[in-house]
């Protein structure tokens, strides 16, 4: 009988499993040492697997947020560059808005206006900036240039009108066929003057406002009943030189202008001018005698000072140092040459000028109070009389002739209205037309001819679209949005049609496009002054930030919030990565020590197993 040691004797199943587990653990430790990870599967992390998954999700979110932040930062930085360029364009143009900067570049506009047209090109290119084919100022429409070219904006196309056409139509509609700003005027009954709007309702021209007088005993002002609005001025008393009537007018752009008429008993024309020291000085009015000879007229009490000597005007019977109120040129020359120190006095009938020379051959200084431009005995200021005056008429007894004075008042009012229409109304009309053109939708004068039109019509089909991007009613910022944090979106969209940009474009374009009336330099200068005063507010505010600067601030705030989110993510990522390392990675030193200990145990187990495997009954016996 023999006996053997079999597997179920010495090599039990539990012993085999232990060796297998040690081997598996040895392999795991080797893998940990090689990879630095506790496990190659989330299941191997045990209870930490949910924490690992959460942390990895956070890191994936941060990666997505940072990609969005990079894109938003790039775009907002480019937008800030463009908007900063626009503010510089506005600032430079505003610096040119000096009414005294009167340098003509062609027969229609000044050098400053020409510079504005060049800056319009610069502004358009800034608004058409794109990154990687994405246009930044078109709202949700990012695939096409959002702003038309300057030539299209100003001159339109074959089928669609540009700004210049819209301005011309609006100007014609505002001025009306007779150039009176759509106002009508009449002497209804003798001394009654009526001024009214030509049609109602009427979008165009002057709108009558308050009327006031400086002498309530001379003028009665009342609003006439019915439509269109009318105002009546009646001479119920005797006006005195210097008495004034003021008409307030509201213009299409909302501004108000005042027409002031001042009473004078000095006929404004034709003027008789003296020349001294190279300067012209009105000293009276020129007419003709019954025989056709030149006659100069002064009012009694007026004075002329020639080379320090005073000549007093008397009604009749002039004596030494005096002249008659009405004297022929020859008589006047004789009287002036009779003064000591006067060599001669020469009269030029073509220019209606008299030149006085002293005995030493020099021109002599002449001063005086006569003449419409200088006033009467100081009662009316010269600068006021240079605006609008009306002549007080007198009858044969020296009493004020109300009917004749009212006729003079009506004539002066008519001239004042036409002048104001040609100057301030023309400028206001151009500015309003620019607002109509750059609006959404663009508005055009409704009717032909425009002089008779009474309203505006949607011009989308017939007018060039200056802005071609998306034009929704929601906030422009919301047209482009990116998630930059778990609870934070960066809204960084922009439209070139936003108020700040649009207002700048309106003002820049109309300043460059409006044509001045340079046939009369004085009128042209006044138009230019009226235009600059209206363009200035939209290019920069004198009291605070302009609308464009507010827009720049909003985009800058978006850029700042994005950078703040980027810094937060950097810190949060560092914390999450540290926590994930603690969960998923191992200390190689600890693994190496464990591996060494396990290796020793495993070797000992294998040696014992090997020794036992060599045992047999023969060896045992």
Q: Is 434 domain-assigned?
A: no
Digit-coded pLDDT (tens) for 304-337: 777 777 778 787 777 777 777 777 777 777 877 8
How buried is residue 567: exposed, middle or buried, by Cβ count under 10 Å (0-12/13-18/19+)? exposed
pLDDT bucket at 363, cuts 50 / 70 / 90? confident
Q: Is 161 domain-assigned?
A: no
- Quote the CA–CA distance of 396 and 388 in Å, as a whole number: 26
Q: Which residue has the higher pLDDT, 349 or 234?
A: 234
Least confident piece of the model among 158-167, 185-194, 492-501, 595-604 = 595-604
Kindly state whether residues 539 and 506 are assigned to the same domain: yes
pLDDT at 1 over 50: no
Counting the structural domains of the chain, the total is 4
Domain with residue 93: its CATH number is 1.20.1330.10
Q: Give the domain-ending residue among 367, 383, 412.
A: 367
Closest CA to 195 of 501, 452, 410: 410
pLDDT at 64 over 80: yes
pLDDT at 63 over 80: yes
Kindly state whether residues 285 and 252 are assigned to the same domain: no
Q: Is 377 domain-assigned?
A: no
Q: Is 8 domain-assigned?
A: yes
pLDDT at 382 over 50: no
pLDDT at 551 over 60: yes
What integer is the mean pLDDT of 573-589?
A: 66
Kindly state whether residues 353 and 404 are assigned to the same domain: no
Q: Which residue has the higher pLDDT, 470 or 396?
A: 470
Kindly state whether residues 277 and 361 are assigned to the same domain: yes
Q: Is 373 domain-assigned?
A: no
Domain with residue 190: its CATH number is 2.60.40
Digit-coded pLDDT (tens) for 269-290: 455 666 655 556 666 666 666 6
pLDDT bucket at 374, cuts 50 / 70 / 90? very low
How buried is residue 618: exposed, middle or buried, by Cβ count under 10 Å (0-12/13-18/19+)? exposed
Token pair in block for residue 285: 């009015």
Stated as kind and residue range, the H or E segment containing 3 is none
Q: Is 162 domain-assigned?
A: no
Kindly state whether residues 550 and 472 are assigned to the same domain: yes
pLDDT at 268 over 60: no
Kindly state whether residues 257 and 406 are assigned to the same domain: yes
pLDDT bucket at 377, cuts 50 / 70 / 90? very low
For 52-110, the DSSP string reads HHHHHHHHHHHHHHHHHHHHHHHHHHHHHHHHHHHHHHHHHHHHH--TT---BSSSS-B
Kindly state whether residues 247 and 229 are assigned to the same domain: yes
Digit-coded pLDDT (tens) for 429-483: 999 999 999 999 999 999 889 999 999 999 999 999 999 999 999 999 999 999 9
Domain residues for the domain of 539 are 65-73+86-147+467-561
pLDDT bucket at 158, cuts 50 / 70 / 90? very high
Q: Is 43 domain-assigned?
A: no
pLDDT at 79 over 90: yes
pLDDT at 60 over 90: no
What integer is the mean pLDDT of 136-153?
A: 96
Please state whether the predicted TM-score (pTM) of the whole model is above 0.85.
no
pLDDT of residue 102: 81
Kindly state whether residues 217 and 240 are assigned to the same domain: yes
pLDDT of residue 55: 72
Digit-coded pLDDT (tens) for 180-191: 999 998 876 668
Q: Is 154 domain-assigned?
A: no
For 191-253, the DSSP string reads TEEEEEESSSS--SS-EEEEEEES-TTTEEEEEESSSS-EEEEEE-S---TT-EEEEEEE-TT
Kindly state whether residues 250 and 301 are assigned to the same domain: no
Kindly state whether residues 217 and 257 are assigned to the same domain: yes
Kindly state whether residues 238 and 279 are assigned to the same domain: no
Closest CA to 371 of 509, 270, 255, 472: 270
pLDDT at 4 over 70: no
Kindly state whether residues 317 and 405 are assigned to the same domain: no
Closest CA to 116 of 424, 434, 349: 434
């Amino acid at each position: 009988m023999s006996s053997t040691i079999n597997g179920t004797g010495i090599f039990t199943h539990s012993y085999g499993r232990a060796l297998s587990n040690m081997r598996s653990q040895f392999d795991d430790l080797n893998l940990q040492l090689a990879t630095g990870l506790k496990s190659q599967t989330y299941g191997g992390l045990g209870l930490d697997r949910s924490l690992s998954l959460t942390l990895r999700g956070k890191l994936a979110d941060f990666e997505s947020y940072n990609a969005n932040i990079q894109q938003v930062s790039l775009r907002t930085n480019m937008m800030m560059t463009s908007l900063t360029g626009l503010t510089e364009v506005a600032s430079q143009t505003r610096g040119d808005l000096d009414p005294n900067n009167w340098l003509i570049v062609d027969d229609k506009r000044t050098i400053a206006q020409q510079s504005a047209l060049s800056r319009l090109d610069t502004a358009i290119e800034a608004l058409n900036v794109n990154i990687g084919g994405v246009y930044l100022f078109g709202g949700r429409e990012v695939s096409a240039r959002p702003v038309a070219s300057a030539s299209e904006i100003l001159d339109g196309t074959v089928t669609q009108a540009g700004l210049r056409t819209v301005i011309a139509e609006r100007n014609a509609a505002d001025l009306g066929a007779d150039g009176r700003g759509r106002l009508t005027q009449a002497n209804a009954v003798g001394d009654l003057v009526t001024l009214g709007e030509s049609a109602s309702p009427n979008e165009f021209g002057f709108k009558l406002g308050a009327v006031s007088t400086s002498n309530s005993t001379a003028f009665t002002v009342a609003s006439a009943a019915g439509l269109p609005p009318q105002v009546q001025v009646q001479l119920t008393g005797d006006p005195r030189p210097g008495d004034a009537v003021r008409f307030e007018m509201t213009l299409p752009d909302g501004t108000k202008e005042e027409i002031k008429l001042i009473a004078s008993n000095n006929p404004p024309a034709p003027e008789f001018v003296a020349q001294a020291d190279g300067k012209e000085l009105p000293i009276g009015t020129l007419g003709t005698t019954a025989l056709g000879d030149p006659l100069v007229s002064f009012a009694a009490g007026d004075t002329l000072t020639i080379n320090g000597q005073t000549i007093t005007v008397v009604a009749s019977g002039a004596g030494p140092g005096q002249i008659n109120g009405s004297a022929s040129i020859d008589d006047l020359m004789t009287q002036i040459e009779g003064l000591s120190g006067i060599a001669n006095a020469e009269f030029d009938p073509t220019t209606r000028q008299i030149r006085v020379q002293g005995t030493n051959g020099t021109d002599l200084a002449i001063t005086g109070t006569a003449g419409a431009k200088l006033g009467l005995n100081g009662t009316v200021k010269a600068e006021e009389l240079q605006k609008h005056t009306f002549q007080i008429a007198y009858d044969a007894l020296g009493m004020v002739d109300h009917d004749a004075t009212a006729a003079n008042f009506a004539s002066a009012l008519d001239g004042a209205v036409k002048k104001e229409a040609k100057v301030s109304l023309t400028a206001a009309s151009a500015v309003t037309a620019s607002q109509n053109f750059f609006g959404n939708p663009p508005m055009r004068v409704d009717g032909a001819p425009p002089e008779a039109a009474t309203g505006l019509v949607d011009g989308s089909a017939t007018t060039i679209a200056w802005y071609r991007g998306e034009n929704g009613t929601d906030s422009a910022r919301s047209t482009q949005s990116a998630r930059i944090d778990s609870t934070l979106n960066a809204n960084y969209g922009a439209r070139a049609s936003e108020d700040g940009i649009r207002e700048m474009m309106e003002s820049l374009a109309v300043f460059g496009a409006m044509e001045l009336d340079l046939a009369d330099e004085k009128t042209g200068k006044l138009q230019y002054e009226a235009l600059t005063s209206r363009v200035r507010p939209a290019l920069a505010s004198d009291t605070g930030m302009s609308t464009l600067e507010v827009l720049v601030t909003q985009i800058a705030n978006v850029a700042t919030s994005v950078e703040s989110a980027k810094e937060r993510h950097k810190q949060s990522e560092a914390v999450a990565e540290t926590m994930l390392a603690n969960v998923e990675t191992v200390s190689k030193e600890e693994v190496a020590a464990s591996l060494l200990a396990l290796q020793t145990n495993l070797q000992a187990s294998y040696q014992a197993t090997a020794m036992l495997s060599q045992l047999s009954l023969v060896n045992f016996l």
